[in-house]
Amino acid sequence: MTDATPIDLDPGRLTLAQCRSAIAGPVRLTLTGSAWRAVAASAATVERIAVEGRTVYGVNTGFGRLAQTRIDRADLGRLQRNLVLSHAAGIGPDLTDATVRLMLLLKINALARGHSGIRPETLESLIALLNADILPCVPAQGSVGASGDLAPLAHMAAVLLGVGRCRQHGEELDAANALERVGRHPADLAAKEGLALLNGTQTATALALHGMVAIENTFAAALVAGAMSVDAVKGSDAPFDDRLHALRGHSGQRDVAAILRHLLEGSAIRQSHLDCGRVQDPYSLRCQPQVMGACLDAIRHAAGLLAIEANAVSDNPIVFPDTDEVISGGNFHAEPVGFAADHLALAAAEIGALSERRIALLTDTAQSGLPAFLTDDPGLNSGFMIAHVTAAALASENKQAAHPSVTDSLPTSANQEDHVSMATHGARRLLTLADNTAGIVGIELLAAAQGIDFHRPMKSSVLLEQHHGRIRASVPRLEEDRTMAPDIEAAQQLVERGAFSSPAVDLLPSAAI
């Protein structure tokens, strides 16, 4: 078992770096003392409302279109149990452990702010599951992103009732055994607790954050691949001059240009052709700061939205203990998450599209000046010919997947919920987009490394030689045709593990401490 990363949480102040830790592996969460007092106060407010018999949505009424139906006080616990069980209607493959771990962390963070009416003992059960890394099995499909992620969060909440399945370190167990392992009994939910557990954007937000972290890794690797490709085809670093980018003014563009200059600094290959007759390189080389900078700005914008949402109270209704009020609203609507996911999808697709164009350049002897398809004996050997076809297939798949999700809406709950965000499946596609892009960038890294090999004994820069060595430690030079699938898989895994994050790591929003 991986050692758990400690998180000392002041609710509402969860950082992107802490979210990244939850994606990476087990965590050990503790809450500040003031959080427990806030949770108890909101639970007491709900209890007072129930005792007094005030009509409040979600406390003593039905849900959605059934909100006008008043529920007797004696049935309030049953109402909440029925809510959880009836809403556990998800379908499809289970979400990954990393995503569910982050879901739990986000839900705990939201509930612990003291505006949801949940009791301390119920919150303690969620924390006990998280700290034991016992993760509910949550079907991936079934949420439209409003009124919250009802179905997936219901599957998570059902475990507290002793219903459903969990995983712990790869072992599957039923919910009752999971609770027993952490010394808890199946819960008898009090008024509003089921609704507080189900309502919220934590599934969409966890999926978007998980996707963002994966896209960040591909972004960093694509900068390395792009710089290597510049040297492989004896391109120019003049387009990365800061004076050009300062005049335009986009921060992402300027930052990317600085990283590319840093990566190429001191390259002997670059020095060898300073006085060549080539006037301009193709856009896929020359316009990297403009395209990748726009992607970086999109990632940063999405990160800002998701950082806010990770700390949001997004259930309904919301409890205000200081004024003894419970107010119904629409904080569960995941439109901000949907926009963030769409921005990230566009960024991932464009990172891959630019990388694919550089692979095409590297394999085209008329443009690159390198042997056709990067092989010593073209004709007898096909070299990187079909590796480029694979990259093109992935890039095309990404284009289809990057279509915006928030522009779609399908009314639910007898038209009570008449506009929804579709944020959850918009966020869920991000891991697929990131996987595809990591495959494309992995192929470019292999191709660019092969191109640099053709310039030996000349060396690239110190940093690029280090990255070249990282590639060659996993994949030897392609001397003659062999099955390339294992090579591509190895390079893709390096990208996904963040092996090429340096020196771009300081640009990545979720890596900031």
**Helices 16-24 and 288-310, packing angle to 10 deg:** 90
| Residues shown for the chain | 513
Q: How far is CA 347 from the centre of its chain?
A: 12
> Is-contact 175 163, C-beta < 8 A?
yes
Task: Kindly state the DSSP code that residue 191 receives in the 8-state scheme.
Answer: T
String of b and e for 477-510 (b: at least 16 CB within 10 Å)? ebeeeeebeebbeebbebbbebbbbeebeebbbb
Q: Read off the tokens for 310.
A: 């990770």
Q: What is the DSSP string of 202-240?
A: HHHHHHHHHHHHHHHHHHHHHHHHHHHHHHHTT--SGGG
3-state secondary structure of 378: strand
Catalytic residue, chosen from 16, 42, 57, 190, is 57
Residues ≥6 apart with Cβ < 8 Å to 482: none
Distance, CA of 39 to CA of 128 (rounded, Å): 16
Distance, CA of 365 to CA of 372 (rounded, Å): 5
String of b and e for 221-245 (b: at least 16 CB within 10 Å)? bbbbbbbbbbbbbbbbbebbeeeeb
Q: How far is CA 471 from the centre of its chain?
A: 25
Q: Specify whether 283 is catalytic.
A: no
> Using alpha carbons only, how large is the chain's radius of gyration in Å?
26
3-state secondary structure of 301: helix
Residues ≥6 apart with Cβ < 8 Å to 108: 9, 29, 31, 123, 126, 127, 130
Residues ≥6 apart with Cβ < 8 Å to 481: 375, 381, 382, 383
Q: Which residues are catalytic?
A: 57
